[in-house]
Structure 1
Amino acid sequence: MKVRKKNLCDTCRKRKLQCDGKRPSCTQCVFSNRTCEGYPDALFVPFVATKAAVKPRTARPKSVSRTAQSVSTYARCPSAAKSGSVQDKDSPIPSRNDTNLSGGSPSPNRSYTQGLATIQDKVALILRNFIPLHELEFNSADATEQCSRFCGSWAKALPELTADMTGPFAQCLDSAVSALALSITAYRNRQNLLDAIVAQYEESLHLLGQSLAAAGNTCNSKIVAAVMCLALTEVLSPTQESSWLVHVEGVSNMVHLMPPGSFASGIEHIMLMGFRPLLILRAFIHRKPTFFADEPWLTLPFQYHQPAPLQSLLGAAAHIPGVLEKVDVILPRSCDRAAATADQLITELLASILRLKTWHNSFLASTPEVLYCSRNVEHDFGGTFESLWYPSLGIANMFVYFWAFQLLCLNEIRDLLDRFPHLKHTVHDGAAYSAEAFREECLELSTCIYKSMEYLLRTDFMLYGISSAGFPLSIAYKTLQSDAEGQAILESLDHSIITRCKIRGVGDCADGLCV
């Protein structure tokens, strides 16, 4: 997708003049006494992508039939299939029999989709909202920033996937792209297009079920992209609480069908790097282990490409959901050995924190420049608040999630010490557990996360900024709310953070994504 430069005003563009990009008016317009028509949002020119070279896949193991069956089952019974529960009785949703399956996706009122006549138009809209402009301008497939966001990086594969819209799975992808584009339009314009979105979404689910049945025990990139489009549609226009996680689970099952080495290059690598953060985040939310913690999945997808900082952080943290499951499952079954089990779990959580800090120290040693600083931000409604500012969203995400993963482990340790008070006197690595030290560190980490939200919520980050905020903000806010000292700290911070999140469509943020 070729992107026109954003620092060229419309006046200079029309007159074919060089523009210095100054705001509110460029120097050329000021000295020529012309009205500077301003700088438009990103303008996209569709192009026909060439197919990337993909390494041949190895044979799949025969023992995946149950997983494949679960993928098909997920597609037939998604949360949004109960579309009647959100249907307006005066605006009935067309049934599948009323739509032309052979003629492409159902078309809602044209006023909703003005400027979205082609699949390239819809892909351009998705890219504009989920991919930073500089990535599109340079079209770099392995740029560090591309793999440093939690939501939407995989969309960079859409131009190539939609360049050839023939074949058995093209219609499914076309329909899912249309659903996401319509949902983005409703979200950005604050329009109530629920009926149209659900109609398109329902049709996409029907086509997805057909595609999964045709694909069998395979992981097809177009199907995976279609499922991710539907997941983001659920994020923007949810039919049920946390319903996007159903689709993410489906993607996880499909990815697990394949050997990890098949994601080492080509379009598969781009897509895996894009949705790997969401799949690991899902494991944290559900407190269930993920196959991404297995050694082959930590190494083989990166055999040709150096992992971005966020990707390597996720590798260091991928085992933590498995420890959280032990807290939930093994500890209650221990009975007489509960205290010993709790002590072992605390040891594992401390080891997880040490692993995160070791990764962090290694990253700092290889990056000499300053990575964040304090900045006072003044709001129109009054008040000046200290915020943490970063050189890029990728660096911001890396630090915020580094703190969030530590905070999650520390909160679990504090809970275990509250349940087993005598463990506070247990010696670990030559020192007793310090509940007070854990508490102070929790408050410090929560404050750093909260102060980073001003940066993540920048409007120029479109949807890829705020979508990173939910999981860490939820943990930090709940930690600060848990005692009087934390509440006092929260009182001194920017209260508008939560309000602005809610205005932009964020509820509790507990399901991990903030849109």
Structure 2
Amino acid sequence: MVGVTGRSKTCKTCKKRRIACSLERPSCNTCVKSSRVCEGYQDAPIFILDKRSIPSTPKEQNPSPKPTSSSQAPDNPKIAKPASTKSEVTRLERTICTKEAYKSLWHISSPHTRAVYREQILSEFLTNYPQSPSEPRAGSWLALLPSHPTYTTALEASILAVCTAKLGRTHNDQSLVKESLKFYIQGLWELQRALWDEKLMYRDETVAACMCLIIYEVAECPDQSIKGWVGHLKGCARLFQLRGPKMYRSEMAHRLFLTFRQIEIQQAIAERRSTFLSQPEWQSHPWKGHQKHISQQLLDLMAQAAGMIETAYQTIGNPNLQARPDILLVTILGIVDQGWKLDIMLRAFYRRFEKTTAGPLFWPKLSSTPFDVEQESESEKVFPVAFQFPSMTAAHTCMVYWATSCILWSGLKVLYSLLAVFKAQMEGLSCPGETPPRSPDHNELPPLEHGLDPTILAKNICQSVEYCMRAGPMTPASAVFPLKVAIETLSIDPTFEKEVAWAEDAMERIRSGTGVRIIGHLGCKLTDRAFIPG
């Protein structure tokens, strides 16, 4: 328009007619009322940093420094920068520089320009890493973002951080990776502002921004520590809980809940604590208007297992109960009874899962690209047979089922051994000539039977990794939890040294191949116990 500095923001039709434009999108009301075709608006140009556009200058083979005379010496000595010492470089490592955080596309571009850039890079991201919204897998909510009607600034900055980082890693473009960190820092600021705003706090977009920050921590791990991921997950869990179980009716909110649910329950088991997701209302209300996939029933059982694990550790570590072995023995027996009931429910789930699948759940096939330990002959492959599945959903469900059974069986074995120790203590505490307190006989307890050797299930998990590697660029990340459980289970027996080495190599391939960089910054060895008791 005339008299307004800068680029005209009117639509092309109103600009030709030289009249005021009402600026509605996609078609302005001025054109609609006059029965004219609104030709749309002129988009602002998008500039993406590309290292290929930087002209390369040939370097001299052995450049000799030119001597500087006193007349050529700089007038201002402050311009000459001293070389960084090794101690200064070391001090700057493992830090996030926020000084240049605001000099990014976020601040040099208008909201409309950012929206155009967001649509472009999100489309490119989903093209390279397709997410199927029809499959109930973690992360499928990302496929709904292109059609999402509204974006808050927190969600916009967070999703730009995730997409820019992933594409930068894919194309080996460090400028995009650095830009993603600026988006990430901006996302933190915008999310903090949203959480203090009563109108934005409980919106789906705020929850989605939290999940994006969790994804960024998993993929980039900017602080080279797991603390950032744990902090985001705790805050996200609190936000989900405050929203209540009835706030997940929309498709976007429901998909976000499914993704968070899987992460929260697995982390609850690792932290040996219960989770609010085990409450009945959280296992029913979020599915009002949605079909509950059978794989979600497995997560219901895992949530119960988390509560049982918390009770077991609190009981065994209670000093007051340790001084009363008779009471402690009865308490442990109650936990063992819960464990066997959970095992029955797990096996019943597996039978239901088999009935819902046309054909077998999995079948063996000679491994085409096995992950072999170095210096291993062709006839002595660790896992020459790999499992095939009808779908990635079936593969992931089977692997999580085996991992959950590994945790349960290993826990029951530990409890059985403790019962034997406490029984011996009670018999030793009784005075000569006195009848020892009534203690349960081990013969009265159900035998472990199939739970005697959880390494069988751990090997099943390892033999399923190859299928995950071939299913898509993002799917191997879903194997991290069951593969970690398998490594912990196999490492208990020193005779499985090769199997453990194979599994650790597979985990490294997942880290380097899919960009799950947080695996390299766990702060502990992969064989350290996080899920398996001991």
Q: Which residue pairs with 1:249 in the alignment?
A: 234
- What is the identity, as a one-letter code, of the residue corresponding to 2:362? Y
- What is the identity, as a one-letter code, of the residue corresponding to 1:154? W
Q: Which residue pairs with 1:417 in the alignment?
A: 416
Q: Which residue pairs with 2:150 in the alignment?
A: 164
Question: Secondary structure at the residue paired with 1:94?
Answer: coil
Quick check: 1:471–1:511 contact (8 Å CA) kept in 2?
A: no
> CA offsets per residue over residues 232-252 of structure 1, 9 Å max, x none?
111111024333232222222
Q: Which residue pairs with 1:352 in the alignment?
A: 342
The structure 2 residue matched to 1:155, chosen from 142, 165, 174, is: 142
CA–CA separation in structure 2 for the residues paired with 1:342 and 1:511: 21
Quick check: 1:131–1:156 contact (8 Å CA) kept in 2?
A: yes
TM-score by length of 2: 0.66
- Equivalences for residues 349-388 of structure 1 within 5 A: 349-379=339-369, 383=378, 385-388=384-387
CA–CA separation in structure 2 for the residues paired with 1:98 and 1:468: 32
Identity of aligned residues (%): 20
- What is the identity, as a one-letter code, of the residue corresponding to 2:190? L
CA–CA separation in structure 1 for the residues paired with 2:354 and 2:364: 18
Structure 1 residue 196, shift from structure 2 partner: 3.5
CA–CA separation in structure 2 for the residues paired with 1:100 and 1:498: 35
Rate the CA distance shift 1:365–1:328 in 2: closer, same or farther, 3 A: same
CA–CA separation in structure 2 for the residues paired with 1:447 and 1:294: 33
Rate the CA distance shift 1:224–1:355 in 2: closer, same or farther, 3 A: same
The structure 2 residue matched to 1:339, chosen from 326, 329, 335, is: 329
Alignment of 1:462 with 2:473, yes or no, is yes
- What is the identity, as a one-letter code, of the residue corresponding to 1:374? P
Q: Which residue pairs with 2:193 in the alignment?
A: 210
- Equivalences for residues 161-310 of structure 1 within 5 A: 161=148, 163-165=149-151, 170-190=152-172, 192=174, 195-215=178-198, 218-238=201-221, 239-242=223-226, 243-310=228-295
Q: Which residue pairs with 2:396 in the alignment?
A: 397
> CA offsets per residue over residues 284-328 of structure 1, 9 Å max, x none?
222221222111111122232221232221123221111111122
Aligned length: 399
The structure 1 residue matched to 2:301, chosen from 294, 316, 324, is: 316
> CA offsets per residue over residues 129-176 of structure 1, 9 Å max, x none?
5544xx3xxxxx5x3x2x1x23x1221231233x434xxxx2221111
Rate the CA distance shift 1:490–1:455 in 2: closer, same or farther, 3 A: same
Quick check: 2:102–2:182 contact (8 Å CA) kept in 1?
A: no
Between structure 1 and structure 2, the one with the greater Rg is 2
Quick check: 1:331–1:341 contact (8 Å CA) kept in 2?
A: no
Alignment of 1:471 with 2:481, yes or no, is yes
Question: Secondary structure at the residue paired with 1:379?
Answer: coil
Structure 1 residue 198, shift from structure 2 partner: 2.8
- Equivalences for residues 500-511 of structure 1 within 5 A: 500-504=509-513, 505=517, 506-507=519-520
Quick check: 2:157–2:183 contact (8 Å CA) kept in 1?
A: yes
Alignment of 1:438 with 2:460, yes or no, is no
CA–CA separation in structure 2 for the residues paired with 1:284 and 1:125: 36
Quick check: 2:365–2:387 contact (8 Å CA) kept in 1?
A: yes
Quick check: 1:260–1:296 contact (8 Å CA) kept in 2?
A: yes
Quick check: 1:290–1:318 contact (8 Å CA) kept in 2?
A: yes
Structure 1 residue 437, shift from structure 2 partner: 4.9
> CA offsets per residue over residues 301-356 of structure 1, 9 Å max, x none?
22322212322211232211111111222331122133332222222222222211
CA–CA separation in structure 2 for the residues paired with 1:392 and 1:217: 38
Structure 1 residue 87, shift from structure 2 partner: 4.3
Q: Which residue pairs with 2:464 in the alignment?
A: 452
CA–CA separation in structure 1 for the residues paired with 2:337 and 2:110: 56
- Larger RCO, structure (CA 8 Å, separation 6 or more): 1
Structure 1 residue 220, shift from structure 2 partner: 0.9
Quick check: 1:180–1:232 contact (8 Å CA) kept in 2?
A: yes
Range 170-179 or range 120-129, more displaced: 120-129
CA–CA separation in structure 1 for the residues paired with 2:417 and 2:144: 48
Rate the CA distance shift 1:451–1:204 in 2: closer, same or farther, 3 A: same
Q: Which residue pairs with 1:120 in the alignment?
A: 119
- What is the identity, as a one-letter code, of the residue corresponding to 1:174? E
CA–CA separation in structure 2 for the residues paired with 1:426 and 1:158: 58
Quick check: 2:462–2:483 contact (8 Å CA) kept in 1?
A: yes
Rate the CA distance shift 1:437–1:84 in 2: closer, same or farther, 3 A: same
Which 5+ residue runs of structure 1 have no aligned equivalent? 1-47, 49-82, 108-112, 136-140
Rate the CA distance shift 1:389–1:100 in 2: closer, same or farther, 3 A: closer
Q: Which residue pairs with 2:78 in the alignment?
A: none
Structure 1 residue 221, shift from structure 2 partner: 0.9
Structure 1 residue 227, shift from structure 2 partner: 1.3
Q: Which residue pairs with 2:74 in the alignment?
A: none
> CA offsets per residue over residues 50-96 of structure 1, 9 Å max, x none?
xxxxxxxxxxxxxxxxxxxxxxxxxxxxxxxxx976348xx874155
CA–CA separation in structure 2 for the residues paired with 1:494 and 1:244: 24
Rate the CA distance shift 1:155–1:502 in 2: closer, same or farther, 3 A: closer
Rate the CA distance shift 1:349–1:97 in 2: closer, same or farther, 3 A: same
Structure 1 residue 427, shift from structure 2 partner: 5.8
Range 299-308 or range 270-279, more displaced: 270-279
RMSD: 3.5
Quick check: 1:343–1:423 contact (8 Å CA) kept in 2?
A: no
Range 393-402 or range 501-510, more displaced: 501-510
Rate the CA distance shift 1:487–1:423 in 2: closer, same or farther, 3 A: farther
CA–CA separation in structure 2 for the residues paired with 1:211 and 1:274: 21
> CA offsets per residue over residues 342-395 of structure 1, 9 Å max, x none?
222222222222211111112223334222111111338874621111111100
CA–CA separation in structure 1 for the residues paired with 2:125 and 2:354: 34
